[in-house]
Structure formats: C-alpha cells, structure tokens
Amino acid sequence: MGRVLCLLALLQILCFCTPILAQETPSKSPLETALERVGQGELAEAATQVRLLLEVTPDSGLTQALLGTLWLYSGETQRARTAFERVMKTPSLKGLALYGIALCRIREGDFASAQANLDFAERSGGDKAVIGLAQSYLKTLNVGTVSLPKGELSTAVLTGYQALLGMQAIRRKEGAGEEGLRKALKPLPNALLRQSWGVLMTFERGRPLLTGYRPLPNPEVLEIAGNDAEALHGEVQLNPGEAGARVTYVMYEVDGRSIGLVSSRPYTIVWRSNEVANGSHSLLITHFNANGAEVKKTERRIRVLNAEPEPTTEQEREKREILYARFWNLLTLQPDRCMCGVALGDWLGQQGKREEARKWYWRSVAIRPETELIRQRILEIEGLKQGNPAMYGGMAGEKLVALTFDDGPKSGMTEPLLELLTEAKAPSTFFVIGRHVTANPELTRKITEAGMEIANHSYTHRNLARLTKEEIEREIVETQTAVLLATGKLPHFLRPPGGNWSRAVESSVRRWGLTPGFWTVDVYGSEVLSAQEVVKAVLEQVRPGAVILMHNGRVNTLQALPTILRELRQRGYTFVTMETLEKRLQQARKEEQEAVRTAGERKRRASE
C-alpha cells in the first residue's frame, strides 16, 4: 500500500510541475520571420532567426533550406551547397534542394552539373517556371536561343525572361532588345536606384551569378554541428543508466514534460519519439527511493529525426505550400540591373541617343559605384575631373552672398520658399537629400526651373565620416543620379550632413568630380528658436562673399526670409548661387596670378 501511495504522490507532483501549454501561438514563426528578413536584404537579422532554428531543429529540411538560401544570398556558395544537400533528405523538398544545388553550380561555373541538377529538380516536382528560367539563362550563357514560355508567369519570372530576351536581342544588335531591357528595368517600388536582393544574372560567363552584396559579418554563428548523439526516430527505448539498490522509481521527462514513470527494473521505457518535433531536446531522468525522495538526477540532450509528416488538414497543406512558394520566390533568378543598365546604355549610345545612354550609365553606377567598367563609361561622357578646393565663402571684396538651403525638397515647404526667392529675384543653392529627390522629382525640377542651383547633400543624410568607402560612394552617386534623372543636370557641390568630414569622404567626393561646399554662417541654432532669431543671426554675421546655411523645412526660416532678403538688399548685397561665388573667386585668383606674372615680366624686361 505504501508503494502505491508513493507512486500516486509522485504522479501528483509530476502533474503539478508539468507546464501548461500556452493557448496562443505567435503570429509569425522564426522561419517565417527569417524568410521575410532575407527577402528584405536584412541578412544579419535573418541569421539571428536561423541560429534559433538551428539550435532547435537542425535536421529540419525547411531549416536547412533557409540556411542554404541565406548562405547563397551572402555569397557563401560552398556552404550553401552543403546545406541544400542536407535538404535532399526531405522528400517534399527534393526539387527545391536540387534547384539550390544547381544555382551553386552555376555560380561556380560548372554549367554541365548545373543543367543536370535543374533537370532532376524539374522531375522531382520543383517549380517548373522558376527552373525553366534558370535553364534558359544557361542557354543564354552558352549563346543559345531562348524564347518566352507560354502560360501565366509570376512577375519575378517574367522580369527575368524580359532581361534574357533583351540581352539576347541586343547582342544580336536587334532593336527589340531595347524594349525588353526597359521592361526588365522598370523602377522598383520606392527604390528607383536600387538592385533588389536575390540571385542575380550578370550575363557574364566568367561571373554568371551575383548572390549578395557582402558576406555576413559573423558567419561562424551559423556553424552549428548539432547534437553528436545518434538521431532517434520512431519508437525508442530509453534507459536510466546505472540504478542502485536504493532506486525504486524512475521518472522520464522531455523538455520538462513527463513521458512516463517506471517502477520495475531495469526501469527502461519505450517512447514514441514522433511525439515531439524534430531537433534537439532535453531528456531529464530522475531516480527516487521507496519514500519518494530523489536519489539521482541526470540530464542530457537527445536528437530526434523522424520523417516529416505529410500535412493532414487543408489548412496545414495550404500553409506548407505558401512556405514552399516563398522559398522558390527568393531563389528565382533576377536580372542584375547594373549590368543590364550598362548594356542598354551601350545600345542607346550606338543609336546616337547620348543623353539617354548617359542616364542609364548613372542608374547603373548608382547600384554599384565601385564598378570600374561603368565609371569609365561615365568618365568618357562627363569628363569628370578632381573637384575644386572646398568652398567656405567667396571674395571678401565683393558684396555677394549665397543663400543655401539644406535637406529638401519637401512638399509643402519648398514651394513657398521658391515663391519667395523667385519674387525677390534671389538665386540660391539647394543642397538636396537624394531620397527626397527620388520621392519628389517634379518638385526637384521646379527648383531648377526657378533658376536655383541644386547641390548634393547625400542620399539618406547619414554621417558620412562613419561609413565605409562603399557606403560613402553610394550616398554620393545615388544622389547625383537622382538629381540627373529629375532635372537632367548633375550637382557640382556636395555638403556633408552635419559638416562631418574625413579623408575617406574627401577622396570619394573628389573622385566623382564634386567640390566640397561648406558655409560661412550657420543659423541652425536660431532656426529652432524663432523667425526673429534667424533674422538676427544672419544680419549680425553676414559679410561680403558669405555662404549662409539655412534649412528647407523650418517654418521660422520661411517666416524670416522676407526680412532677410529686404535687409541684405538694402545693405547693397547681391544674391548669387554658390557656383557664381566660386567662378568669381576663380576669376579673381586668375586675374591676381596674371597680374603677378605681368609684373614679373615687366621687371625682367626692365633689368635687361
């Protein structure tokens, strides 16, 4: 009777300690979150979610497919191939696994193996449209002929074919190529100058695929070998290890939940491992004596690897199909907008459409500023030279003043500012932010049409001195391109946000033929106070040749401007752009040098 009472007591304790499962489930699983992050190009954030999945379900086909996709996006081809090879163990994902391996083979230049894998992927139930695009791309690399398949295609697949057909036609010097590439290169939503993330077709045999902009910062965090123990599947027998004479009961728990209480030697238990998800789990074994007192407790990690069950409900099947479709979408080949833009620019140039070609070259270099091939095309057209020395102001002897306005264009604020300046016949310089230009091209065009000068104030208004060389150049070039596309003109000056400067920033600014444009008077501190303070700050600090820094977007500045314009004109000042100040300064220096040279020549002649 005492033995039974002890057993009942242990069962009561066990039931009390078993955690109650939460009724609510999170709206998005780590897998779904990671897929979203990969699609948005947020690879470091995606890696965090993948790490969690690897710790819990390292053997899951979906986990390994996600890992392979992440490695492929970050340019780690060999690691990606290893992950996709592990996916082969999951029958329902075999087509995706073979396709992923094929992409790795294309990246490595092994086209024959890639073709074989693509054929197997199609026969294994893979997405025929996505696989067909990859097969067509291989034909293009081998200078074969491709055609648009019949039937409905997803937007991504259709865009890929448009690029393939366009590049094919242009290489044959056929005009249809221009139309195909224009369709493939339609601006992305809210990202006129960006390349979408994904696996990119470059149309170059020596480098057929680009699979990411940069490696993961800490790839080693994903190198998880998993549990070294043999994988458990089906019904398995668990044993308690050495059970001494004092042991009367043995309790087994997996992840804190009881799977059984055994009261007879040898205290083994048969457990159905498919009661838990595949992956790593905690197995806790507790030994008790006849009085219910704990004798010994051991814990170890076990690894469960059962065949992943087929979905049994319509909802489960639908969810799985959605997940699979997201993988296929992420791995659909996309055109490298950079190289397609260059090809289109070359074609337009050959047709005598020089200005259009120019814009496509700038679009392309905005995507990858470090690409020397495109930079050379731009140098041939623009003749970019090293920028002039930094401008802080003009000649001290001329009553000229340059009003400058940072951070525009801003709808609702730029229009009244332009109206005031135009009415006062006060040409000024607008240092624009590139993303604002992309969002407001018509408003940007109105600035130039009003006779104002547009200058570069970076694309996202970040501290340039804290960025990498690649990031600095993208900030500069994207803004140059955005302004060119909106106005047909390229900025001459660049003002770094906050005035933050470094040798790296200076090098990049000069590399793209820009002149650093700083200021003589900064009224920012007054702009946040009142219109009267803005007026006071300008009138107290202004001097001949001054460059006055104000902001396009401050109500106080807008209210102060009529007084500033009137007072400065009454003091005899003429309003000019920074470019005019620079030209006058250069002319004065040239005249001074000429005067010195002439004086020297006269002195030499007098001494003869």
Taking phi over 0 as left and psi of -120 to 50 as alpha, with beta for the rest, 531 belongs to: alpha
Burial of 536 (0-12, 13-18, 19+ CB in 10 A): middle
CA 601 to chain CA mean position, Å:
61
> Does the annotation mark 59 as catalytic?
no
Q: Where are the beta strands (DSSP E) in 135-277?
A: 199-201, 209-210, 235-238, 249-254, 257-262, 269-272
Q: How many CB atoms lie within 10 A of CB 391?
A: 23
Distance CA 433, CA 497 (A): 9
What does each C-alpha distance from 469 to 103, 194, 239, 368 come to in angstroms? 30, 18, 60, 12
> Does the annotation mark 119 as catalytic?
no
- Which helix (DSSP H) or strand (DSSP E) does residue 318 occupy? helix 314-330
Contact status, residue 489 vs residue 499, Cβ threshold 8 Å: no
Contact status, residue 564 vs residue 534, Cβ threshold 8 Å: yes
CA angle 561/566/570 to nearest 5° reads 145
Residue 457, C-beta contacts closer than 8 angstroms, at least 6 positions apart: 406, 407, 431, 432, 433, 434, 479, 494, 495, 497
Contact status, residue 229 vs residue 217, Cβ threshold 8 Å: no
Catalytically annotated residue among 281, 436, 457, 551: 551
Distance CA 162, CA 182 (A): 9
Q: Where are the beta strands (DSSP E) in 136-293?
A: 199-201, 209-210, 235-238, 249-254, 257-262, 269-272, 279-288
Phi, psi of 195 (to 5 degrees): -95, 130
Catalytically annotated residue among 127, 336, 406, 407: 406
Residue 354, C-beta contacts closer than 8 angstroms, at least 6 positions apart: 348, 381
Q: Active-site residue numbers? A: 406, 551
